Structure formats: structure tokens, C-alpha cells
Structure 1
Amino acid sequence: MSKNSKIQWTDHSWPIVTGCIPKSAGCANCYAIKDSWRLSHNPNPKIREIYTGTVEKKGETLRWTGLIKYHPDRLKWVEQWKKPARIFVSNMADLFSDDVPEWFLDLTWAYMAVYKRHTYQVLTKCPDRLNAYLNDPNTPQRIAMWINAELDINKHPGNDYPPLPLNNWAYDKFSWPLSNVWVGVSVENEVVTHRIKTLLETPATIRFISCEPLLGPVELRPHYLYEDYQESYRDNEKLDWVIVGGESGPNARVCQVKWIQSIVNQCEQTGTPIFVKQLGSNSNLEVKGKGDNLEEWPQSLRIQEFPTIL
């Protein structure tokens, strides 16, 4: 069970999907492929089975096979975590991969609705499917069906079940969009900033981006941040949170500190919460390891903020 995550902006990881398909440059040195390979050789068969077949090794190179697995039994972890926490949803794979079925998305959202003591952080490189799912007027109805079935696959009536009445009790369990679910997209360079536009057209209480690994300068302010933060906080075209960090590991690509500083400056000018996670293992400053020791950073980068829900 992935409690006490080492990722600084979350508390626990919830690896409910395993196996992935690379989407853009940020995927090249992904930690998940190395961890998945390692875990696929775990001596515990229950752990090994979760990851078996998702990664293959060609010479010294690891690569995803394209096999996507989803794990309903792991959804129950959030019930066992009694203390309210921030939870990184599907940290080992993309929840919105095409091969993850809609019913599993519905069941995941139903768990998040029922166990609302937690805050769930959903990060994807597939913003189009995220957008379509959360904008689908039938999505809350399908989630309500899972709540009515007590989150039990054996009790779910299936797709042929007649529509629930709008005054069904399950609708009173959650507002839409869920107030405890944050959704975000990865934006590692200017090439993929188009993901932000799709994100901002997606209904969510908190919308955020993760500029990690940051592979080049990213200009946000002209299009996605506003000067008057308090007035525009609920505007559909406003980012609510930004994470930024350099790449870590032996093959880390360059992350110039000035790129991180630029994003920090843009967020500070607009009052947007910013979380600087790490400088990376290949920055132009001398730092140890992944560059996550704040004492080694310039004072202007020592910022680790979270969004506030008004």
C-alpha cells in the first residue's frame, strides 16, 4: 500500500492502473517504467502480477509494452486510509489512457465521492479524454449507479439498468464536479501547452499543471493566468495551481534554473499558487541528487504552495 509518498506535493500514491504508453517528450525518462520493471520481478506474486507484462527490456533499454492493467481491488485503499490526505491518483500510469475502460473511471470517481475526506490529485497527459469524461452529462448518473451498488462490482446492474431518478439519494452524496478532486495536465515544454486549453475547458474545482520534468521555457501568463487573482479564481480560463521541477536520475536532461524562475515569477505576478518541487539532477547549479534540498536553492525559488478552495 503506497502510503507516505516521497512526492512532496502529495501524501499517498494510489497506483490503480499499471502499464503506460508514452505521449510526449516528458515520458522519456519516466520513473514509473523503472519501478514497474523492478516490481514485475518482486518475489511477492501478488505484487509481481500487478506489473508483469507492462515493461520489456531490450538490451539495456526498458520500454513499455503497451499493456494496460487496471486494479479494482486497489480502489479500496482509500477506505483504509482513515486520516484525510492528499492522494496522487494512478501515479504509475495514466488513468485516462484509451485502454482504461469507462466503467473503471466511473468506479474510481464513485470511490472519490464516497471517501470525500481525502483530496484526490489526478494528473494526465490525455486531456481530451479527461475533458470528454467530465463534460459528459451522463457521467454523474453512472457514478451514482456505482454508489447505489455500494461500490460492489457484483451488485452493479450493468449498462442496461434503467436511468436513476434525478432525486435519487446518490445525487445528494456529491456535487458536480467533485469538490475534492483536482485535475491537471503535464506541460514539460511549449510544444504541449495546448493541453492547458483543453484542461481549462474541463469542469473541476481545482485545475493545475505539472511542469515536470521541465525541458524548456514555458510562457503561461498571457493565456492562462490573470492579474486579478481573487476576482478571477473561479473563471473557467484560470489555472489554480502550478507545479514545477527539473528531471532527476542519471540520464536527466538539462533544466536551467532560469526556466523555473520564469514560471515562479509569472505565478507570483498573478497570485497563482506555485510549488517548486526540485531543481533536477542536471541544472546549472551545483546541487546534490535530484536537487530537492531547499537549502541549496536560491531564496526566490523556495516556494511550495498549495491552492486554496474558496
Structure 2
Amino acid sequence: MSKIEWTERTWNPVTGCTKVSPGCKHCYAETMAKRLQAMGAPGYENGFKLSLVPERLNQPLQRRKPTMYFVNSMSDLFQDGVPVAFIDQVMDVIRATPQHTYQILTKRSGNMRDYFLTRPVPENAWLGVSVEDKKYGKPRIPDLLAIEAKTRFLSIEPLLEGLGRLKLKGIHWVIVGGESGHGARPMKEEWALSIRDQCERAGVDFFFKQWGAWGEDGKLRNKKANGRTLDGKVWDMIPTVAMA
């Protein structure tokens, strides 16, 4: 099981990554990968350097129960260095397991767009991009919208500034959250509320994941103390999944 609130399990046929934008500054996956390397965990022999783990490709095939998988929580499937042939293998597994739903999130939106220019998106694959700020995050949205996918989503976490108006036509789900961990940057309530309001007007499912290390009152605490309540409510909408 996964501790990530908006999924059920993680599937990591690729591990390791490189930083490409401000949202990567305090990468939880990098910290975790180094811990797993120190523990001698399989797949993390190289720490947070890009590594293909082909022996994990068949993991979803061994599970019959319909499951929501977050693909590569410890990496980015569309980063430079992941061979197209390996991405093809990942997609083959996704197509071979229609009972599952796969959430694929990237910061390399251009690479994902180019990959699917000549390939259909599996029906059970949700495609998403990270949108942490205006300069790096918002330009990823048009790349996502250019892909013919059944379900598209935005992961606005960590939310680092007010984003202004968002292009939500064609987006089905938006996740918002603050940053946690050492050195966490604060998220202002009005930033999150603006996104929530836009989602409500556009009929887009909205999921508020966490406040992170900073509370809505602007005080630094810890993640557990700050919780998931926004404007007096827990927002945990997820698009409806029609399982086989």
C-alpha cells in the first residue's frame, strides 16, 4: 500500500532522477532513495541516479484486484535517458492489465507529448504534469492538453506561488498541496483557494493533499499538525474509475 493519499500503490520500474525546476528543490524521492541505498534495498544500488529496473515490469501482472497505481513515484518515466523501448514496455504492461488504473506524472511534458504523438494512450492510463509555479509549471499544461488522453490531471505540489488563471478545459483532476520536510517553503491559503474555486467553476475534481510543514495561518509546524483541511473541509475528489 502507498502512503500517498491519492493513490493505492506505487510501481517503480525506473528509479532516480535529476532536478529540472524549483519544485524539485526538496525532492522527497531523492531523500528516500539515499536511505534505501544505505539499507541495501534492491533497485537503489545507484542511489538517486537514473536506473532501469526491468525485473519490476511484471509486478502489476501479478495482481488481479483492480488497483490504482502511481507510476514511478521515485522517478520520472519521461526524463531524458529512459529509452523509448523501455517506455514501450511499461505501456505494454499497462495495456495488458485493464483492471488497473495507472497515474503517470511528469515534469518533462514535452517528452511525454512527443512520445504520444505516434502512439495511442492506454485507456487505463491517466496522464499528469507537475505545476509548481508560473515560469516552469504552467507551460507544461499545453503539452498535456495536446495529448489525446482519456484522463488528464495536474499535480500542483508543492504550490510555490499564486498561479493566476489556469487552463482547465480538458483537465479532469487537480491535486494541490504544500511542501513538507526540512527547508519547506510556505503555501498561502489564497493560492490554494483560487485553484479550488477555478476547479469548481470548471467542473474539475479537486483534491487537497496537505498543508505540508506550514499551516494555513502561516506558522511553521509539522505535516501531521497541519492536516488536509482547506476552508473548513477535506477535499478528496478523485475521477470516477470504471474498473473491468
TM-score (norm 2): 0.92
Q: 1:115 aligns with which of 60, 79, 97?
A: 97
The residue identity in structure 2 corresponding to 1:209 is L
The structural deviation recorded for 1:309 is 6.3
State the Cα RMSD in Å: 1.8
Given that 1:120 and 1:182 are in contact with CA atoms closer than 8 Å, whether structure 2 keeps it comes out as yes
Q: 1:290 aligns with which of 223, 235, 243?
A: 223
SS state at 1:210 partner = strand
**Cα offsets for 1:197-237 (capped at 9, x unmatched):** 1110012111111000010111244xx124xxxxxxxxxxx
**Could you tell me which residue of structure 2 aligns to residue 17 of structure 1?**
14
Q: Is the aligned partner of 1:53 residue 2:46?
A: yes
SS state at 1:266 partner = helix
Q: Return 5+ residue gaps in structure 1 as ranges.
A: 56-66, 140-175, 227-237
Given that 1:213 and 1:247 are in contact with CA atoms closer than 8 Å, whether structure 2 keeps it comes out as yes
Q: Is the aligned partner of 1:243 residue 2:175?
A: yes
Percent identity between matched residues is 37
The structural deviation recorded for 1:288 is 5.6
Q: Decide which moves more: 283-292 or 197-206.
A: 283-292
Flag the structure with higher helix content.
1
More RCO (CA 8 Å, sep 6+): 2
Q: 1:179 aligns with which of 111, 120, 123?
A: 123
Q: Return 5+ residue gaps in structure 2 as ranges.
A: none
SS state at 1:96 partner = coil
**Could you tell me which residue of structure 2 aligns to residue 135 of structure 1?**
117
The structural deviation recorded for 1:126 is 0.4
Distance between the aligned counterparts of 1:77 and 1:86, measured in 2? Answer: 13
Q: 1:197 aligns with which of 139, 142, 148?
A: 142
**Cα offsets for 1:70-111 (capped at 9, x unmatched):** 111111110122211110001101100110001110000000
**Could you tell me which residue of structure 2 aligns to residue 218 of structure 1?**
163
The residue identity in structure 1 corresponding to 2:46 is G
Task: Provide the aligned length of Structure 1 versus Structure 2.
Answer: 239
**Cα offsets for 1:111-139 (capped at 9, x unmatched):** 00001110000000001110111111xx4
**Cα offsets for 1:8-47 (capped at 9, x unmatched):** 000001111111110100000010011000001114xxx2
The residue identity in structure 2 corresponding to 1:86 is M
The residue identity in structure 2 corresponding to 1:197 is P
